[in-house]
Amino acid sequence: MSDAVPASWQEEVFSALREAGVRQVAWVPDAGHAHVIDRVLVDPEMLGIPLTTEEEGVALSCGAWLGGDRAVLLMQSSGVGNCVNMLSVVSTCRFPFLSLVTMRGEWEERNEWQEPMGRATGTVLEAMGVRVLRAEEPGTVSTIVREALDAAFGREEAVAVLLSQKLVGRKDWGDGK
């Protein structure tokens, strides 16, 4: 998917998922998650599942848990709004749930369409009963993701880790703007 050399925090995220026994990783394509997606696709212990829309990943996570697997949903902040109705299933049925969310609409955002959902992401998730953790610096990502994994699969909570746009960088559209 990506030829970019990953930051160490991205490899730490993959390692944390693997060590926590996550077997299913679902995503809507996103450059911010490219390294983890690439690693999942070549790992024989994990199943990578591309989605057409983010709410499918919420349902997949619930089904994985019912089937005895652990799943994680990778998405961008702009996809959180697509999940609201399905997150009611997580809340009502008290499913463990974990999503890693790359943020848009923040630092050096060049696409103004990303800004409203970027501002609302944490509030929307919390309104749906999802605990929100936030990683801003590369050195904190692994610790925060491991806490989220423990909360989701150790304490059966619904958790999202928001990965700051500073971590994934800004999108360069090559147009000089």
Whether residue 4 contacts residue 134, with contact meaning beta carbons closer than 8 Å, is answered with: no
pLDDT band at 108 (very low <50, low <70, confident <90, very high): low
Residue 89 pLDDT more than 50? yes
CB 78 within 8 A of CB 114: yes
Question: CB atoms < 10 A from the CB of 94, how many?
Answer: 12
Task: Give me the phi and psi of 100, to 5 degrees please.
Answer: -105, 120
Q: Which domain holds residue 59?
A: 8-168
Q: Is the pLDDT of residue 71 over 90?
A: yes
For residue 48, give the nearest of 14, 77, 82 by alpha carbon. Answer: 14
First to last CA, the chain: 25
* 177 in any annotated domain: no
Number of domains in the chain: 1
* H/E element, 56: helix 54-66
**Is 43 domain-assigned?**
yes
CA distance 111 to 82: 19
User: If you average pLDDT over every residue of the chain, what do you get?
Assistant: 89
Task: Please tell me the number of Cα atoms within 13 Å of 23 on its side-chain side.
Answer: 9
pLDDT in tens, 12-61: 999 999 999 999 999 998 888 999 999 999 999 999 999 999 999 999 99
**In a domain? residue 77:** yes
Domain containing 127 — which CATH number? 3.40.50.970
How much is the CA Rg of the chain, to the nearest whole Å? Answer: 15
Residue 39 resides in a domain: yes
Angle of CA points 9, 52, 71, to nearest 5°: 50
Task: Classify residue 92: in a domain, yes or no.
Answer: yes
**What pLDDT, in 10s, does the model give residues 116-175?**
666 779 999 999 999 999 999 999 999 999 999 999 999 999 999 999 888 877 666 555
Joined together, the tokens standing for residue 149 give 């994994």
pLDDT of residue 30: 86
- Has residue 2 been placed in a domain? no
